[in-house]
């Protein structure tokens, strides 16, 4: 079975722009969670999607949003980028919502200049 894939792997944007990151979960997995990883704040939970609905959200501003499609693929969008949004964005999938078996993708490294 193929693992979780994330595209693109690397991205460079300038302040004020917006960006969309994509995550394809493991086949059969219906839950997708997103995390932001930075040296200063560590790993922080962004949100979780299950059955095309956002089920849980972390403490991030409204500039961070996401969605999930009927095939369970998920996208994350960040609008009006700030320098502090530079981070590794990790996506994790699991078979069902809240299950403890979360499998992570390789991440998207976003650099905001």
Partner 1 sequence: AQTVTQSQPEMSVQEAETVTLSCTYDTSESDYYLFWYKQPPSRQMILVIRQEAYKQQNATENRFSVNFQKAAKSFSLKISDSQLGDAAMYFCAYLFNSGGSNYKLTFGKGTLLTVNP
Summarize as ranges the residues that interact with partner 1 (CB under 8 A). 33, 35, 42-45, 48, 50, 55-56, 58, 88, 90, 92, 97-98, 100-107
Q: Least Å distance between CB 63 and partner 1?
A: 19
Residue 52: CB minimum distance to partner 1, A: 13
Is 45 or 79 the residue whose CB approaches partner 1 more closely? 45
Output 18 or 109, the one with its CB closest to partner 1: 109
Query: What string of DSSP letters covers the chain?
Result: ----EEE-SEEEE-TT--EEEEEEPPTT--EEEEEEEETTTEEEEEEEEETTEEEEE-S--TTEEEEE-TTS-EEEEE-S--GGG-EEEEEEEESSTT-S--EE---EEEEE-
Q: For partner 1, which is the closer residue by CB, 5 or 22?
A: 5
């Amino acid at each position: 079975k193929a693992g979780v894939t994330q595209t693109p792997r690397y991205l460079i944007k300038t302040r004020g722009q917006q960006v969309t990151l994509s995550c394809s979960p493991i086949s059969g997995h219906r839950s997708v969670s997103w995390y932001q990883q930075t040296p200063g704040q560590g790993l922080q939970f962004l949100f979780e999607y299950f059955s095309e609905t956002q089920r849980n959200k972390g403490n991030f501003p409204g500039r961070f949003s996401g969605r999930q499609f009927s095939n369970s693929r998920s996208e994350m969008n960040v609008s009006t980028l700030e320098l502090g949004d530079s981070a590794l964005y990790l996506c994790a999938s699991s078979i069902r919502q809240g299950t403890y078996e979360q499998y992570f993708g390789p991440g998207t490294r976003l650099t905001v200049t």
